[in-house]
Amino acid sequence: MMPPAAPANRAPHVFTLTGNLLAERTFEFESWSPGRTQRAQRETFQVGGKGINVAKMLTRLQIPSTALCFTGGAPGAECEAWMRLHRFGYRAFPTGNATRSGLVIRDRSGQLAETTLLGPNVAPDAAALVECATFLDEQPDGQVLALCGSFPGWNNPEFEPLRGCLERWLKRGQLVADTYGPPLAWVAPRPLALVKINADELRSLPGGCVDALPEPVQRWIITDGAGPVRFRSDGGAVQTEMPPVIREVSPTGSGDVLLAGVIASLFGRASTLAEAVQFALPYAAANAAHPGVADFPLPLS
């Protein structure tokens, strides 16, 4: 049975769920090399995590959205302050575990590739997971929920309230996933509206190829960096689209921008999957051609 559709006179609300939030700093150097003390020319702070990136781009595309996340400790408080400052639609569920931190090192000379250092994964505690599940159960039917990124501890008993909530969501809304590892194995055999994965994640699934993709999922998108994007809808033939050719500055978040564009087109415009991919690819390319995530100029030229 297909989930109920949102009212025809408005796009559904999109919730993105980030299971592993990141308090991220970027240090920019005129040039950088390992093994010595160096002083950055510029420091910025941003909130990382796939669901945050997706919601940021959805906001720029004027799609109503709320970023759901788990925040803890001083890094979590800094993340919430950043989201308030940027007028971000978000709902944070407090956890006793401090939000992980990360550092991006950017060499403006172009001699060294951008380097990202991530702190250890942080799983939300049981109380935060119950609060998140309760919040989602209270939302009206016909909305879109996107599971984004990693979910440390997914197979642990503490996640049972959230897994049960997602089973219920499948019967009353649209569920999208851009995840990997245990969450991807959990969602793949279920009737999701859309799964976006990259080529490496595809190989982790049984069969490891497009022809072996589980049938219950309505739509699949497989990305491969700057290579062709492959996609399949409703068990049909695999189609391919090439991204625009650009001079890459930072690929970080481009897959998340792609997913936001696809969601905006699929659920905001009732597009086909092919139309949604064609709509989203220029935004993903523009993201890769600029520093930051979803910070490129709009409208696209």
Residue 10: pLDDT band (50, 70, 90) is low
**pTM above the 0.85 mark?**
yes
What percent of the chain lies above the pLDDT cut of 70? 97
Is the pLDDT score of 5 beyond 80?
no
Is the pLDDT score of 8 beyond 50?
no
State mean pLDDT over 265-279: 95
What pLDDT does 66 receive? 97
What pLDDT does 168 receive? 98
What pLDDT does 25 receive? 94
- Alpha-carbon gap, residue 151 to 83, rounded angstroms: 21
Mean pLDDT over the full length of the chain = 91
Is the pLDDT score of 7 beyond 60?
no
14-29+42-288, CATH topology level = UDP-N-acetylmuramoyl-L-alanine:D-glutamate ligase (3.40.1190)
What pLDDT does 32 receive? 83
Quickly count: other Cβ atoms within 10 Å of residue 259's Cβ. Answer: 28
State mean pLDDT over 20-48: 91
Is the pLDDT score of 9 beyond 60?
no
Quickly count: other Cβ atoms within 10 Å of residue 165's Cβ. Answer: 18
Is the pLDDT score of 6 beyond 50?
no
Residue corresponding to tokens 């759901």: 68
Residue 301: pLDDT band (50, 70, 90) is confident
State mean pLDDT over 56-74: 96
Is the pLDDT score of 229 beyond 70?
yes
Angle subtended at Cα 205 by Cα 200 and Cα 208, rounded to the nearest 5 degrees: 70
Is the pLDDT score of 208 beyond 80?
no
User: Nearest 10 degrees: CA dihedral of 24, 30, 33, 35?
Assistant: -70
| CB 229, CB 243: distance < 8 Å | yes
What pLDDT does 204 receive? 82
Is the pLDDT score of 70 beyond 50?
yes
Residue corresponding to tokens 């959805």: 58
What pLDDT does 102 receive? 95
State mean pLDDT over 2-22: 72
User: What is the tens place of the pLDDT at every residue in 133-192?
Assistant: 999 999 999 999 999 999 999 999 999 999 999 999 999 999 999 999 999 999 999 999
